Amino acid sequence: MKKNDKMKEYIKGQVIPINKANIDTDIIIPKQYLKSIKKTGFGPFLFDSERYSNPGTLDNLDQRKINPDFILNKSPYNRGSILIVNDNFGCGSSREHAVWAIKDFGIDAVISSSFADIFYRNSFRNGLLLITITKLDLEKLFQNAEKNKEYELTIDLINSKITSQDGLKISYTLDVSDRDRIIKGQDDIAITLENKEKIINFENEIKRRKPWLYEE
């Protein structure tokens, strides 16, 4: 892979540990926020039912009552950028809004032992890094994050390694195409445009071989 100045080789940030399994997309962002199809503005509604003690809509954020006991409402977690969660994260209904909310909050990566399939694909299409590690390694992360609130991780995207300030090292595997999406910051359109010249050449060849297809 050729490197350029726009490539992201590392993700580094404060860990947000939520040691729960089977967190579904309705918990990540409830259905009342799906009316908007903008990709931004969903961060305040991430884990909505747990962050606030009263019901919310897209229009009443200034009337919400903060739940002081929820982790995203506490420092330093409210500025965290790496979420660690337990098994089967993102299960439930298919909604890209769940990924949009996570990204809009400021989270760049989610680490777990397993993810729901549709959520997994939606995440990489929208530039959210998901890393799958063993349950043993995940438990180590939870234990270390519990001991140290200011727990930070560095993710080496090129070499597929996670390191921490306490010396922990974890290797992971990731599909090359998914890795490149994150490193290059590409969506489906950008990936398609990488092959623009090949597509144009293909279209010109079809026109040459089958000109009747283009006759008006």
Q: Mean pLDDT across the stretch 120-124?
A: 95
Q: How far apart are CA 200 and CA 15, in angstroms?
A: 45
| pTM to 2 decimal places | 0.85
pLDDT of residue 211: 78
Q: Mean pLDDT across the stretch 166-190?
A: 87
pLDDT of residue 122: 95
On whether the CB atoms of residues 84 and 140 are closer than 8 A, the answer is no
- Pull the structure tokens for residue 39: 């990709």
Across 29-33, 54-58, 182-186, 201-205, least confident range: 201-205
pLDDT digits (tens, 9 = 90+) for 128-166: 999 999 999 999 999 999 999 999 999 999 999 999 999
Higher pLDDT, 4 or 194: 194
Checking if the pLDDT of 3 tops 90, the result is no
pLDDT of residue 15: 98
Give the residue among 18, 88, 22 at the shortest CA–CA distance from 51.
18
Across 148-157, 163-172, 207-216, least confident range: 207-216
Q: How far apart are CA 140 and CA 9, in angstroms?
A: 24
Strands 152-156 and 10-18: antiparallel
Q: How far apart are CA 86 and CA 147, in angstroms?
A: 18
- Pull the structure tokens for residue 170: 């974890």
Q: How far apart are CA 67 and CA 214, in angstroms?
A: 63
The residue type of 21 is: A
pLDDT of residue 164: 96
pLDDT band for 6, please (50, 70, 90 cuts). Answer: low
Q: How far apart are CA 200 and CA 207, in angstroms?
A: 11
